[in-house]
Amino acid sequence: MHLFWDNSWVALRVAGSGSTPYPAPDILAGKGGRVLVIECKSSGELSRHIPQQQVDDLVLFAGILGAEPWIGVRFNDMKWAFFAPDDLKKTGTGYSISVKMTKDKGLAFEQLLGIF
Residue 52 near residue 93 (C-beta atoms within 8 A): yes
Let me know: does 71 contact 34? Beta carbons within 8 Å.
no
Beta-carbon neighbour count of residue 5 at 10 Å? 12
Q: Is 17 a catalytic residue?
A: yes
Which is the catalytic residue, given 17, 43, 47, 96? 17
Residues with catalytic roles: 17
